[in-house]
Structure 1
Amino acid sequence: MTENGSEARAATAVLAGASTVFIWGMSSAERLRRQLARAGVQDVRADAEGVSPDADVMILRLDWAYEQRLIDELAIRPGVALVAGGAAAAANVKGAQAAEAVAEIGAGRVPDGLEALDSEGLAGSYNRKLRKREIAYLIPLDERSVAEVEARSFAGSYKGVTDVVTKYVWPRPAKAVTKWCAEREITPNAVTYLGLALMFLALFLFWNGNFLLGLIPAWIMTFLDTVDGKLARVTMTSSKFGDVLDHGIDLIHPPFWWIAWIWGLPKAGFEVPHADLMIWIIVGGYIVQRVFEGAFIRLWGFHMHVWRPFDSFFRLITARRNPNLVILTALTLVGRPDWGMILVCAWIVLSLVVHLAQLVQAMILSRHARLVSWLDAA
């Protein structure tokens, strides 16, 4: 720890050995440089020459693939060697020891005086950012392991608690499209902009009562919403602007789609006797749900959807964009888009009742014990 209480962080990294393998269109060296930059390490070298004797120096072998959590943790853990299967893959040492440590790590040996930790020992088993329990991967890197590394890194970019479509339908095609984009250096923001255009196209078609036609760009947009985030994570090209753009679109557009759908029903020949009530349910339900979620995080420090196993299950089907689109698609395919919107409104109300119950239960239980996510519990 530094004097002001923040964590001390290695400022220099040495990349040891060599690798000719490419992952997601990047060389091993380029991938590690991007990972180190995300961990706040900008001084990346090929050897330890000229390193300050008192500096904390990270040493990483190029013939290993590291999950980002391992890089982040190793950067703030001096005196530690990262090992797998009895072989050393990386370390954080003092500059005075760096030259010798590079040789030792390059040979797969743990330098004298370092604490040897495996992936779980260094980074734990719970990924709070992505809301899932998973030990960070550390994989020897060669031509035969590229597919495994890409599969693990892609899976590692996925939230463990999300809706049923994102969790079970999109992963396989999204991985293929992410790979295609990465190899052609298509940026995540470019994918987001395409999704934005499709979002407006779907809105226009819904507004005019062209529901089946509008569902096509709507579903493609939701698919690209998965791809852009995964592309940013696996290629380490995320940015604050891109994150704000992506999450801003996600946050704002769903209720406008449902309102456009209601306004489009008369144009498609369907009566909407309670249109005003339906719009109030959509807008009010969307706002209240977000308030519930925000209040839970503010009060107890984690998302309500990862509190208990039931809460994580209910996140699969709660009245968010993708589950609502499933309802609308199913009813539109049988010729009743009006019934589809009635069911969506009913599901919004029922989901709010469940979330209110979650919030009340948490308030009662928190009086007697500290609330902990079931994914984070020992």
Structure 2
Amino acid sequence: MAAVHTVSDSRNDSSVTTSAAAPAAPVGVVVGSSPVRLWGMSSTERLHRIFRRSGLEIAEGAAPAGRAQVLFRADYVFDEPLAKDLIKQPGTVLTDAETGQAVAAHVPPDLAGEVVAMLNAGGAVPESLAARLRVGTPGEISSSYNNQLRKKETPYLLRLTAETLPAIEKRMFSGSYKGVTDLVTKYVWPTPARHVTKWCAIAGLTPNFVTTVSALCVAAAFYLFWTGHFLPGLFFAWMMTFLDTVDGKLARVTLTSSPWGNVFDHGIDLVHPPFWYWAWIVGLAAVGMSLENTALILSIVVIGYVAQRIQEGIFLALFKIEIHIWRPFDSFFRLITARRNPNLLLLTGFSLVGRPDLGMVAVAWWTVLSFLIHCVQIVQALAAKRRGPITSWLSA
């Protein structure tokens, strides 16, 4: 591992002068290097992306004098939440829980040189530094609960070598997955999505490009459903759900998520299902399989979809957590509740036996039942709130 040396800047540079009341922000420094590339980028580039996303100035050579430094070894892979938590904790050294080696630190300027030497040496924290700095493992420095991804797990810290790269990328991909989601996304898509995500990363495809292709699949499915070509339409519908998994994972593993990308992706997710149901019912008429209560069925699936989204919003507003992460049952029911992918399973199953009309009837009944179950969940949470705050079982 190539050493990084911290030197003093003797120039009279007013740009680094700070007041006593407002110390200068720390700078991000990568210690050493690694020849191994993960998800199409070097470890140094990945750390620089974390620095930029955390609002840190990047010091690629000598760090500015008088500035605290956030130091990360390039031969380790840091989960972004772990890195960001360390950035928020001045006077802290992060160690590998398995080896005891110091791998990162957030230190004041007077200790930076000594800490850089320690990180380059690749050893444990000496007593002289341990007495002046807080020393902790990932589980001690960072929370094990990720609210954004609805799951509980210790942030990863992994030694980067050519031999460990496949396992690291698998772990990183797993870490980008939501813990509470539908059964197709949770059990069917992970392995193929990981390979496609890796291909996209190496090819330089952006998450927004993948989302754009996903949007084209939405349009293709709508047209095919509208014209009664249900099985070809389902192919594009499932392709859309697959790419909907890939774009988010690509953004997380390559640290390229953006506010616009989030709006673009989730906006498509939110809007398109009712249009598919409408097109499906129109398509039934086009192939002579009109439903007896067309208006009623369409109203149930569309209004029911909107109503369930409103229920989720009400639960979040009342209890400050998502309805699907309150209790183990709620997380289980998220696997099968009447959202897009479970509904597509019903439509696919009935279409394969030549009864796409009964598939839509099944979706309508399942929508009603899911709505009623969510009503019960809200009532139960209101009763439970009288005994104390509502918290997620995943954060316990």
Provide, for residues 85-142 of structure 1, a one-character-per-residue CA deviation record: whole Å limited to 9, x for no partner. 2101000000121122111122233234111111111112111110011111101111
Of 84, 89, 103, the residue aligned with 2:103 is: 89
* Aligned residue in 2 for 1:77: 89
**Do the aligned partners of 1:23 and 1:150 also contact (CA within 8 Å) in 2?**
yes
Q: Is the 8 A contact 1:10 1:58 kept in 2?
A: no
Task: Kindly state the Cα deviation for residue 10 of structure 1 after the two structures are TM-superposed.
Answer: 5.0
Contact (CA 8 Å) 1:16, 1:46: kept in 2 or not?
no
**Contact kept? 1:57, 1:94, Cα under 8 Å:** yes
2:13 alignment counterpart: none
What are the equivalent positions in structure 2 for 1:141-290 lying under 5 Å apart? 141-290=160-309
Q: Check whether the contact 2:277–2:302 (CA below 8 A) recurs between aligned residues.
A: no
Q: Please state if 1:51 is matched with 2:65.
A: yes
AA at the equivalent of 2:51: L
1:157·1:230 contact (CA, 8 Å) conserved in 2? Answer: yes
Residue 20 of structure 1 pairs with residue 35 of structure 2: yes
What corresponds to 1:301 in structure 2? 320
Give the 3-state SS of the residue equivalent to 1:45 in structure 2: coil
Q: CA deviation at 1:47?
A: 4.0
How many pairs were matched up?
367
Report what 2:9 is aligned to. Answer: none
> Residues of 2 paired with 1:43 and 1:344: CA distance?
53
Residue type of the alignment partner of 1:161 = V
The corresponding residue for 1:100 is 114
Greater C-alpha radius of gyration:
2
- Aligned residue among 342, 352, 359 for 1:323: 342
Give the superposed CA RMSD.
Answer: 1.3
Q: Alpha-carbon deviation of 1:45?
A: 2.8
Give the AA of the match of 1:320.
R
Structure 1: distance between partners of 2:24 and 2:324: 33
Give structure 2 stretches of 5+ with no counterpart. 1-22
Residue 227 of structure 1: CA displacement?
0.4
Contact 2:281 / 2:290 at 8 angstroms: preserved in 1?
Answer: no
CA distance in 2: counterparts of 1:56 and 1:356, whole angstroms: 52
66-75 or 101-110: which moved more?
101-110
Deviation at 1:51, TM superposition (A): 2.9
Quote the residue 1:68 is aligned against. 80
Aligned to 1:33: 48
For 2:380 and 2:340, the matched residues in 1 are separated by: 26
Do the aligned residues in 2 keep the contact of 1:10 with 1:76 (CA within 8 Å)?
Answer: no
Q: Structure 1 unaligned segments of length 5 or more: list them.
A: 1-7
SS in 2 for 1:209: coil
**Percent of paired sites with the same residue:** 50
The 8 Å contact of residues 33 and 44 in structure 1, kept in 2 or not, is answered as no
Determine helix, strand or coil for the equivalent of 1:143: coil
Q: Which amino acid aligns with 1:60?
A: F
Look up the match of 1:42: 57
Provide, for residues 286-342 of structure 1, a one-character-per-residue CA deviation record: whole Å limited to 9, x for no partner: 111111111111111111100000000000000000000000000000000000000
Cα drift, residue 9 of structure 1:
9.6
Moved over 6 A (4+): none
Quick one: which amino acid aligns to residue 30 of structure 2? L
Aligned match of 1:4: none
Partner of 1:369: 388
What is the TM-score when the length of structure 1 is the normalising length?
A: 0.95
Letter in 2 for 1:133: K
